[in-house]
Amino acid sequence: MDELDNQRILESFLSGALNVIEEKEALNKINVFPVADGDTGSNLAALMQSIVDQVNPESASVNKTLQSIAEASLIGARGNSGIIFAQYLNAVARVFEQGERTVLGFVYSFSVAVKDAYQALLEPQEGTILTVMSVWSEALYVGFLKEEVLEKALLSAEEAASEAVQQTRYQLNVLRHKRLVDAGAKGFYHFIEGFTNTYCDTKGKSRLASDDRNEHVDFLEIDNQAERPNERYCSEFLLKEVIVDTVALKEKLSKYGDSLIIVGEGKLVKIHIHTNKPKDVLIKLEQYGVIVSHKVDDMLLQWDTANTPKYPIAIVTDSIADIPQELLLEEQIHVLPIQILTDTTSYLDKQTIDSSIIREKIQKKEKLSTSQPSIQSVDALLSFLEGKYREILIITVSAKLSGTYQLIKQRIEVNKLNQAQVHVIDSKLNAAAQGLLVLSAVNAIKKGESFEQVVTTVLETITRSFIYVSVASLAPMVESGRIPKKIGRIAQRLNVYPIVTLDSDGDGKLKGISFSQESATKKMLKQVHTLIAKSQLEAFAITHVDNAERANEIGKSLFDNQDGRSHYIVESSAAIAISAGIGAIAVAGIKVKEEL
């Protein structure tokens, strides 16, 4: 009764984690609560993968193992169910550390931890992961007190959890109407199923050394159509050194959205919220702690993708591509955010930072830099899209300007995705030119082109695309390496302003120079006007860095008599703000294809 085998406990936890990962897609298919965005399986799998990857296999004790699992769960937690699960595991580790480190203490920790899981939410709902978590924990504790044998208690508790999952279909209206069990509850069941099977296998057979699948409870799964979410973005933040308690933090954040969950303690806290203003949430959180990491998912886009997909081919790009937000949602274009780095925080381009914030940070003389999308964001998006589309086309910013292209290629190989169904294209462009190229891919899909034809169309369109940039200051382009330092310093001494473009390899080059930004802008526009006058443009766009007034003036001159050509004005990314500087103006276009 008093002995705990650390290695056995560790293998059981990892087995439960692997079991959930295997069931990822099945869980995604039945995800309707609280939002039918089809990612509960992916979110729980991310949590479990973090445990598998980060838990120390050499932990010296059960206490150390539980602490390691708790820390890994906070780092990997995503979505409602994932964050509730992380809170539960953190509470288990805390209670066990503070109590008797025996089998009874282990079982008791699960029972007490349920209260923490419920307290993580402002409005806990029965018929969810919380219910099954509560039923299993109580059954485990009562069963152990009765039998004094952990194996017997685990088997009886698993049976109780199975019945509790089945009952979730009757506890929430949305589940009852769809005749579905709750995805988070089912995910929790798969975890304790894997845990129990490994711990109770008297032959010593571990799922860690086998690809055999366990027998699973036969849950009913059918297609679903729940209501679209009210808030657009599922936002999550990991904070350290938090200076307010959980109750105060909930009060301060509740006005920003719904589905607010806060888990963890002062040294490490995770916040989950559905909001239309993730940038404002981040600004508020910066007042109360240090932001270690955060992620923002477009729930409306996920909902549309899961329930009413427009095209058989997924289009993915990165946030350097300048495309109006409404078009991203309308055309179901998925975006990987570039990271914007300061000395203390990593922001997400166009989600939690924009050029107006960049202006403030420049005025404060903060050091700014950019980085490719995180590995986690790439893997999460690929995981979400896999199985929802016939093929996936990814169009990245020029590989000469960013490591995004190489990163995505590498993640496709690591995740062993079918490269006949997932194709990555180096646009050799950036900003509005990259955005126009992405939209050209959408148009090709609309025309009914095959995947191979769409790829061919995009590659050909790159050769007809251009971008001209007029900057307000040379300093950012020199510092970022967009202009060679030697040339840049000479230009700065002469007080000249360049027109910058990209060459055929996607690298920056000078197109011309002037003695003021206004003069450079006029020269740039003269070239574009010439193309318009000769009907040599099929699409064009204007982008700016916190300079909307001048961009709109230019738009009036270019968009008159535009004869049906697609066009738009959009604010550029924070990444472009760093490299081109505040006040920069750019015009991009796609030239008409020449007749042979």
Alpha-carbon span 377 to 374, nearest angstrom: 5
450 and 469 part of one domain: no
Q: Is residue 285 part of a domain?
A: yes
- Answer yes or no: is 441 within a domain: yes
For residue 95, the tally of other CB atoms under 10 A from its CB is 20
Q: Tell whether 499 and 379 lie within a shared domain.
A: no
Number of domains within the chain: 3
DSSP letter (8 states) at residue 313: E
The range of the structural domain enclosing residue 176 comes to 6-209
Kindly state whether residues 293 and 248 are assigned to the same domain. Answer: yes
Q: For residues 276 and 259, is the Cβ–Cβ distance under 8 A?
A: no
| 218 within some domain | no
Q: At what angle do helices 375-385 and 40-54 cross, to 10 degrees?
A: 140
Per-residue model confidence as pLDDT tens digits over 57-72? 877 799 999 999 998 8
CA dist 449 and 455 (Å) reads 9
Among 198, 139, 200, which residue's Cα sits nearest to residue 164? Answer: 139
Q: Which pLDDT tens digit goes with each residue over 359-386?
A: 888 888 888 888 889 888 898 899 889 8
Answer yes or no: is 219 within a domain. Answer: no
Query: How far is 395 from 455, CA to CA, in rounded Å?
Result: 10
> How far is residue 439's CA from residue 421's CA, in Å, rounded to a whole number?
20
Task: Say yes or no: 411 and 524 in one domain.
Answer: no
Tokens of 253: 């954040």
The answer as to whether 57 is a domain residue is: yes
Domain annotation covers residue 438: yes
Which stretches within 23-119 are classed as H helix?
Answer: 24-29, 40-54, 62-76, 79-98, 103-119
164 shares its domain with 127: yes
We report the CATH number of the domain holding residue 407 as 3.40.50.10170
pLDDT of residue 150: 93
CA count, 13 A, side-chain hemisphere, 147: 17
Picking from 434, 462, 490, the residue at the C-terminal end of a domain is 462
Identify whether residues 410 and 470 lie together within a single domain.
Answer: no
Is residue 584 in a domain? yes
482 and 404 together in one domain: no
Same domain, 294 and 352: yes
Whole-number Å distance between alpha carbons of 477 and 397: 17
On whether both 11 and 111 belong to a single domain, the answer is yes
The pairs formed by 162-167 with CB atoms below 8 angstroms and a separation of 24 or more are: 162/189, 162/217, 163/135, 164/131, 164/132, 164/135, 164/136, 165/132, 165/189, 165/217, 165/219, 166/217, 166/219, 167/127, 167/131
In this structure, the number of other CB atoms found within 10 A of the CB of residue 517 comes to: 20
Distance separating alpha carbons of residues 272 and 83, to the nearest angstrom = 7
Domain CATH code at residue 122: 1.25.40.340
- Is 363 inside a domain boundary? yes
- Residue 509: name the closest of 412, 401, 356 by CA: 401
CATH number of the domain where residue 547 is located: 3.30.1180.10
Cα 121–chain centre separation: 22
d(CA 290, CA 281): 13
Q: Which of 209, 243, 263 marks a domain boundary?
A: 209
Are 340 and 420 in a shared domain? yes
Give the tokens for residue 160.
Answer: 């109780």
- Per-residue confidence in pLDDT tens, the chain, 596 aa: 457 889 999 999 999 999 999 998 888 888 766 666 667 888 888 889 889 988 878 777 999 999 999 988 888 887 778 888 988 999 999 999 988 889 999 999 999 999 988 887 767 888 889 999 999 999 999 999 998 899 999 999 999 999 999 988 887 776 777 778 889 999 999 999 999 999 998 444 433 333 333 333 333 333 444 578 889 999 999 888 899 988 899 999 999 998 898 887 767 888 999 999 999 999 999 999 988 888 899 999 988 888 889 999 999 999 999 999 999 999 999 999 998 988 778 899 999 999 889 988 888 888 888 888 988 889 889 988 987 899 999 999 999 999 899 999 999 988 888 888 999 999 999 999 999 999 999 999 999 999 999 999 999 999 999 999 988 766 666 666 666 666 666 666 777 777 888 999 998 887 877 878 888 888 888 888 888 888 888 898 999 999 999 999 888 877 765 554 568 999 999 988 888 888 999 999 999 988 75
d(CA 30, CA 38): 7
Closest CA to 117 of 95, 141, 145: 95
Choose one of 174, 209, 244: the last residue of a domain.
209
Q: What's the whole-model pTM score?
A: 0.71
Same domain, residue pair 94 and 192: yes
Q: How many residues does the chain have?
A: 596
| Nearest Cα residue to 533 out of 555, 562, 509, 553 | 562
Contact 307, 30 (CB under 8 A): no
Same domain, 517 and 453: no
Phi, psi at 292, each rounded to 5° = -80, -45
Tell me the two tokens of residue 348: 């997400």
- DSSP label of 584: -
